[in-house]
Structure 1
């Protein structure tokens, strides 16, 4: 009689254990995954030095109608460089042989520049830029007419296409100072200004453009 009462209990216990094991095999197991990341957000790449310089707005002087062109003074900062304009560390030589006021930029008009071949209405003159060796980095030059609507154009031997900015990389070097030569392109005589931007400076150079063929 004792065996008859204990056997069903034993069988029920075995069945219960079997069902428990079967159910646990299909239950989802929650695990914690640890990953190592530097950031959970996707960040846009930082702008390059050139992009930051290009984003600076032009701050050219406003010239009243009929006012004289307020040209930047010419000076000598090194006997090897000739006469230059600019506050530094970037200086422009516009081809004058003596210090004059106002500073005159003599250029050939579109009919005479490069013998008038494919000038697209742009005249010009060669300008040499010198950078003080104490400055390391890029220099961005842009410009516009102060008494009119014309932009300043730029080109050089490596890229005859007219551009509206000049980028100077001081790592290229040069003697006696790092330098860059190219052509400033003009469409009409008048009062113009370069804006010269570097990582820690921004200033303008004003000149008067006069046709001299």
Structure 2
């Protein structure tokens, strides 16, 4: 996990902890890349809004939980009803570059920066 929590993306989905590896098979017909990124909620229940954006250049990004919530306020909104959650999700990015998640809940607001990189080999 990385970030200050209590809602964390799982670092196992990131190379070297902060690099989201983009592979050719992640590329969508519209040119964006979609990656599975699981989130863990620890010790928090209540509303949460997760937004994603590119911070080094123009380009779109988004994050969505797979089975809970809805698009709202420029991000993905969900009501977490338990204090501990395992949330399958996807992150969509425009291509290689520097991105950030903005994660807002009733008692916290955190920013998590990550790099999207092309695959090696």
Query: What secondary structure does 2:88 align onto?
Result: strand
Aligned to 2:60: 151
Q: Flag structure 1 segments of 5+ consecutive residues without an equivalent.
A: 1-83
**Scaled by the length of structure 2, what TM-score is found?**
0.78
Aligned to 2:38: 128
Question: In 1, Cα distance between the equivalents of 2:5 and 2:67?
Answer: 26
**Does the C-alpha gap of structure 1 residues 135 and 157 become closer, same or farther in structure 2, counting only changes over 3 Å?**
closer
Question: RMSD between aligned alpha carbons?
Answer: 2.8
More helix by share: 1
Rg (Cα) greater in structure: 1
Aligned to 2:19: 104
Q: Is the 8 A contact 1:108 1:125 kept in 2?
A: no
Structure 1 residue 88, shift from structure 2 partner: 0.9
Q: Residue 167 of structure 1: which of 77, 88, 113 is its match?
A: 77
Q: Is the 8 A contact 2:96 2:117 kept in 1?
A: yes
Runs of 4+ off more than 4 Å: 155-159
Q: Which has the higher contact order (CA 8 A, sep 6+)?
A: 2
Aligned to 2:4: 87
Alignment of 1:1-213 (within 5 A): 84-94=1-11, 95-96=13-14, 100=16, 103-109=18-24, 112-113=25-26, 116=28, 119-132=29-42, 134-155=43-64, 164-171=74-81, 173=82, 177-212=84-119
Deviations 1:156-206 (A, max 9, x none): 6569xx9852223321x59xx312112100112111110010011111000
Instruction: Figure out how many residues of one structure are paired with residues of the other and give that number.
Output: 116
Structure 1 residue 85, shift from structure 2 partner: 1.1
Q: Flag structure 2 segments of 5+ consecutive residues without an equivalent.
A: none
Q: Is the 8 A contact 1:168 1:180 kept in 2?
A: no
**Scaled by the length of structure 1, what TM-score is found?**
0.47
More strand by share: 2
